[in-house]
């Protein structure tokens, strides 16, 4: 039997982190996007794991270096704090819909570093199961994306964000942005977006 958690609860996790050098404080209170883009080193291993509520339980050293964080700042923090504001909320709704269905999801991701810089990655998030088949958390692998795809994906995400902002509330905005995303996939535009459904 597969255990699932409501996606609305997962998307809204914002539990403060208690302890030294809180990631919550650093990224929420002090970090402003710089617009500067970093590149993932070709040999970097960018892996993270979370519990069922999206709180970080493990993050690789390469990932921490790229983010400009120390391990104690990240462990226990909501993974959503690493998102760059350029990411549309609808992409994360789609992610959680896949995870609730016990399916992995691959998507283009912009993460924000502690400096306010950002980097693009191709992310694959998968459920982690125990011996009984219950979902006990989530595993994320980031890889270097095709640079030719980023401009196309950024333009699609910008259209989605604009739709989200125009709507009266968050739920309507996410639903409308998901429609934009699905139409783009059906029309094979941008072509790189096919990676997110293949």
Which tens digits make up the pLDDT trace of 126-161?
999 999 999 999 999 999 998 888 999 999 999 999
Which tens digits make up the pLDDT trace of 23-80?
555 555 567 899 999 999 999 999 999 999 999 999 999 999 999 988 788 888 888 8
Range of the domain at 93: 7-196
Distance (Å, rounded) from C-alpha 86 to C-alpha 160? 10
Question: pTM above 0.85?
Answer: no
Residue 2 lies in a domain: no
Residue 32 lies in a domain: yes
pLDDT at 23: 55
Q: Report H helices in 56-88.
A: 61-67, 71-74
pLDDT for residue 4 is more than 50: no
Distance (Å, rounded) from C-alpha 29 to C-alpha 175? 29
Residue 1 lies in a domain: no
Number of domains in the chain: 1
- Residue 129 CB neighbours (<10 A): 14
Which tens digits make up the pLDDT trace of 6-17?
333 333 333 333
> 145: domain CATH number?
3.30.450.20
> Which residues have C-beta within 8 Å of that of residue 130, sequence separation ≥ 6?
136
pLDDT at 10: 34
**Beta partners for 49?**
58, 139
User: Distances from the Cα of 1 to the Cαs of 95, 135, 145, 164, in angstroms?
Assistant: 21, 9, 35, 35
Residue 150 lies in a domain: yes
């Amino acid at each position: 039997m597969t255990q699932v958690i409501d996606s609305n609860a997962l998307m809204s996790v914002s539990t403060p982190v208690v302890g030294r050098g809180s990631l919550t404080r650093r990224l929420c209170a002090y970090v402003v996007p710089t617009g500067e883009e970093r590149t993932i080193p070709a040999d970097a291993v960018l892996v993270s794991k979370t519990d069922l509520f999206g709180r970080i339980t493990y993050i690789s050293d390469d990932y921490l270096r790229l983010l400009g964080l120390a391990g104690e700042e990240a462990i226990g923090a909501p993974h959503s704090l690493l998102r760059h504001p350029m990411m549309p909320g609808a992409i994360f709704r789609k992610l959680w819909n896949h995870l609730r269905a016990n399916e992995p999801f691959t998507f283009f991701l912009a993460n924000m570093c502690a400096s306010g810089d950002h980097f693009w990655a191709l992310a694959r998030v998968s459920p982690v199961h125990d011996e009984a088949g219950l979902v006990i958390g989530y595993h994320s692998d980031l890889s270097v994306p095709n640079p030719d795809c980023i401009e196309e994906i950024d333009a699609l995400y910008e259209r989605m964000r604009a739709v989200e902002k125009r709507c009266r509330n968050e739920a309507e905005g996410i639903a409308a942005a998901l429609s934009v995303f699905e139409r783009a996939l059906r029309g094979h535009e941008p072509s790189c977006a096919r990676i997110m459904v293949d």
